[in-house]
A and B are shown apart, each in its own frame.
Chain A
Amino acid sequence: MPNKKLGAWELTEYEIFLIETVGSISAGLIVSGIILAVLGYNPIRGLSLLLLGGLRNPDYLLSRATFIMMTGLAFAIPLYAGLFNINGEGEMYIGGLVALLTAIYTGNGFLAILAGGVAGAALGLLVSALRVYRGVNEVVTAIMLNMAIYYTIIYLITSKFYDPVAPHESVKVPVSARLGTLNLVVIKIHVIFLLALAFIALSYYFLYFTKLGYEIRVSGLSPASARYAGINSNRAMINSMTFGGFFAGVGGALNVVGFMYYIDSLLTSMHGMGFDGIGVALMGRNNPLGIVLASIFFSMLILGSQRMQLLMRVPKELADALSGVIIIAFSLPYAYRMLISYLRTRRMIKIGAEQYS
């Protein structure tokens, strides 16, 4: 069913998607507004801060979106093969650390990004190989690895690679390896955002135009068909996790080489972004382009809720809850479709079966 009729208009799938998205955001905003009003805050001001607060600094918004875009991919690609990659967090940390070290020892930023990606890929390979050859559930492995990696890196930063001048930070990325900003006519933009877009395009090409991507998609959608067609599902799973890990590693590397230029001793600049990626991937419907939009929207809400806390003294919990309401509103189209089909049945019964005979 590629096209649907709505009144007099014939709508394509994309138009329907657009209408649904706009509709759900509006519904989310209305509910959030009511909550704000009931609690005695000015809903108009609150919502405009929540939505537009992030836009005050487009460069920062896009840079922030860059990282969860990458971890979003890291979750999305294994999902095509039917695997849950909860390891994005750990892969990102490892990617960041390896990128930092590569940058320090080689002074080359692009090499550092690649090295970070490879490190993330290696972690994905490990997790998926354990799943495929040893039957260890990938989610369990990932959760444990996330913790192990988090503390190991904290240990390394605070004891081995700390900056003598500012001991809560690591050694800085050498200037030669830093990726800076581009000054486009009106706005300033970080190079890493453009790199991330290139990686998104790469992932799209990988999924839809290569043998490996095709095999991953078939294995995820129908394992029995994969077996019939002679596709090695195990290898497809490993490939998907490896590629996913690569992108999360790149995310960490971009954070270090192109944005922070160091890793702080509690990893605050990356903390939680691996998990945000899961939400981004789901909201973007697992589609690379959708992930770009979702990651920007996600970042907008995060920055907006910070503005709301700052300027309106809204408690953090409420600000987060409002972002949550808006995100949940994205599931409205599904509820709407169920309602429609129910009503249609009722109507058909009313008109009577004779008319259909």
Chain B
Amino acid sequence: MQQGEIAIEMNGITKIYPDGVIALRDVDLIVKKGEIHGLLGENGAGKTTLMRILYGEIKPSKGTIRIFGKKVRFRGPWDAMREGIGMVYQHFSLIPSFTVLENLVLSLSSTVKVTINQVKKKAETIIEKVGLNVPLNTRVELLDVGVQQRVEILKALMRDAKILVLDEPTSVLTPTEVDEFLEMLRKLKEMGITVIFITHKLREAKLITDSITILRRGRAVGVVETNKVDEAELAKMMIGRKIALEIPKKREGPMTGNVVLKVENLQVRDDKGLVAVKGVSLTLREGEILGLAGIQGNGQRELIEAIVGCRPVEKGNVIFMGENVTGMSPSEIYRKGLAYIPDSRAVGLVLDMDIVSNSILTRLKNFLGKGGRIMWSKAHSFSSKIVNEFEVLTDSLKTPVKYLSGGNQQRLLVGREVAQRPKVIIAAEPTHGLDVAATEYIRSLLAKLRDEGTAILLVSTDLDEILQLSDRIAVIYEGEIMAIGRPEEFTTERLGLLMGGVKCQTKN
């Protein structure tokens, strides 16, 4: 590896979108050849935008790009590929019903003429060299997410990529897989490949990268050599202030509150008609947060929807406050004092409606007067109460919700559900896609409600969130509860194994 040679030089990159949003302001990014360069920043800091510019997918409004010293202007990703840039997105671009080999042929043949045998030979060489464990003749849909990701990397390497951009590659992996993945990155580095590693996870950035560029709200706020900083400093640069993410957790003996929600042997089918929840039983007591951990798509959504009545229950019962509510409609169940915060704000809110109209969505009956007339004045005062109490930033209550920022939308959504003083809250990914300040706010709010006696079922794919908030943790895998217990009983490693479907033998 030649010391000091520059692989990528992006200068003064500015991106202004047609609606006036400034995504990037005068960002410089310099990556040395053969290093692993971290691109660190919160959601919405502009990491992905910067990389999409590098990959030729979007054009910068201003700024220059040099690849290995050569000034380039990309008209599209194909130009970037020709210069040796490969990109692996969070969402893979593979055809599920094709085999791995067929996917490779498809991607290669879009630019060069190759035969399937040439592709196979080349793929096998690379697999051996890098130690990528990929079965070439299996259909992609049958592969785990982790393996699919390796297929994407293989795809980039097949094009002789000299620069590999990985967009939040570890977000889809279990902790064990992450370790394997980082190992593979080191191998790529040994081969002289330059890697840009986009992440917002400090630990990984610290672990694997050689240097880091930190983005904050569209600006590059620092470039550091990884071995000269610690995680706390990185966090400070990323967020711009000290974070106090430690939420006091109530640690006491066994939970003694009354059981408010009981799920007995629940079986539910998903949209495709497959059994997605296979005999799940849970109990939830007053004043506790039960964290349901699991990788996305393991039956969490179906389980919650069955509890609140959006989805038919095939077998089993849902007992809420001693009453069997199985098969009741969601609006009935909500009115009995169960609140549900869905994982998507586009579901929990009607984005095209204003704040007032959204504030009555789940409890419409409470706002009906004589003859089914909606009492808008009552709705108005209720929504202004939410806006004040939960600090939703808005010009007016008549503002369509789509013009609010993600954090404000979430405050409105959570506020609406919480303001009714529910006995039980089911919160799915309550901080998904939020910045640190909003995340902190929502988490402290949940902790406060728990201390006041509300029972909370927290469904999250974010292990940190689960570990930080839960009084008990349950792990779900393929519609079954793998384990349930107090947080002390789980290490991150054990949680990761359970989430990946491995029931490990504990020592005790």
Residues in chain B near residue A341, CB distance under 8 A: 18-20
Bound Cα distance A144, B348 (Å): 39
Instruction: Tell yes or no: B74 within 8 A of A by CB.
Output: no
Residues in chain A near residue B395, CB distance under 8 A: 2
Residues in chain B near residue A227, CB distance under 8 A: 310
Bound Cα distance A225, B364 (Å): 13
Bound Cα distance A323, B18 (Å): 34
Bound Cα distance A217, B310 (Å): 19
In the complex with contacts A344-B20, A356-B22, A357-B219, A225-B348 CB distance below 8 A: yes
**Is there an interface contact between B342 and A228, defined as CB atoms closer than 8 Å?**
yes
Instruction: Tell yes or no: B420 within 8 A of A by CB.
Output: no
Residues in chain A near residue B364, CB distance under 8 A: 211, 214-215, 229
Q: Total A-B pairs in contact (CB under 8 Å)?
A: 103
Instruction: Tell yes or no: A317 within 8 A of B by CB.
Output: no
Closest B residue, CB atoms, query A226: B350
Instruction: Tell yes or no: B322 within 8 A of A by CB.
Output: no
Per-residue B-contact encoding for A315-357, CB less than 8 Å = 1, 0 else: 0000000000000000000000000011011001100111011
**Is there an interface contact between A2 and B396, defined as CB atoms closer than 8 Å?**
yes
**Interface residue count on the B side (C-beta < 8 Å):** 47
Instruction: Tell yes or no: A181 within 8 A of B by CB.
Output: no
Instruction: Tell yes or no: B334 within 8 A of A by CB.
Output: yes
**Is there an interface contact between A225 and B350, defined as CB atoms closer than 8 Å?**
yes
Residues in chain A near residue B331, CB distance under 8 A: 229-231
Instruction: Tell yes or no: A38 within 8 A of B by CB.
Output: no
Kindly identify, within residues 355 to 391 of chain B, every residue whose CB is under 8 Å from any CB belonging to chain A.
357, 360-362, 364, 368, 372-374, 376
Instruction: Tell yes or no: B351 within 8 A of A by CB.
Output: yes
Bound Cα distance A158, B61 (Å): 70
Closest A residue, CB atoms, query B333: A230
Closest A residue, CB atoms, query B363: A229
Bound Cα distance A300, B324 (Å): 62
**Is there an interface contact between B62 and A222, defined as CB atoms closer than 8 Å?**
no
Bound Cα distance A215, B329 (Å): 15
Closest A residue, CB atoms, query B27: A353
Instruction: Tell yes or no: A221 within 8 A of B by CB.
Output: yes
**Is there an interface contact between A209 and B376, defined as CB atoms closer than 8 Å?**
yes
**Is there an interface contact between B16 and A349, defined as CB atoms closer than 8 Å?**
yes
**Is there an interface contact between B25 and A228, defined as CB atoms closer than 8 Å?**
no
Instruction: Tell yes or no: B175 within 8 A of A by CB.
Output: no
Nearest chain A CB to B419's CB is how many angstroms away?
16
Instruction: Tell yes or no: A22 within 8 A of B by CB.
Output: no
In the complex with contacts A341-B20, A349-B16, A354-B26, A228-B368 CB distance below 8 A: no
Per-residue A-contact encoding for B184-215, CB less than 8 Å = 1, 0 else: 00000000000000000000000000000000
Bound Cα distance A207, B360 (Å): 15
In the complex with contacts A345-B18, A353-B22, A230-B62 CB distance below 8 A: no
Nearest chain B CB to A345's CB is how many angstroms away?
5
**Is there an interface contact between B61 and A345, defined as CB atoms closer than 8 Å?**
yes
Residues in chain B near residue A348, CB distance under 8 A: 16, 20, 22, 61
**Is there an interface contact between B352 and A221, defined as CB atoms closer than 8 Å?**
yes
In the complex with contacts A342-B18, A345-B20, A349-B61, A225-B347 CB distance below 8 A: yes
Per-residue B-contact encoding for A1-41, CB less than 8 Å = 1, 0 else: 11000000000000000000000000000000000000000
Instruction: Tell yes or no: A311 within 8 A of B by CB.
Output: no
In the complex with contacts A2-B396, A221-B353, A356-B374 CB distance below 8 A: no
Which of A217, A221, A224, A353 has a CB less than 8 Å from the CB of B25? A353
Other A-B pairs beyond A345-B18, A353-B22, A353-B26, 5, CB < 8 Å: A2-B396, A225-B346, A348-B16, A348-B61, A349-B14
A-B contacts, 18 listed (Cβ < 8 Å) = A2-B399, A210-B374, A211-B374, A217-B353, A221-B351, A222-B347, A224-B346, A225-B350, A227-B310, A228-B362, A229-B330, A229-B331, A230-B309, A348-B61, A349-B61, A353-B12, A353-B22, A357-B25
Which residues of B line the A interface, CB within 8 A?
A: 12, 14, 16-20, 22, 25-26, 61-62, 219, 309-310, 329-334, 340, 342, 344, 346-353, 357, 360-362, 364, 368, 372-374, 376, 395-396, 398-399, 403
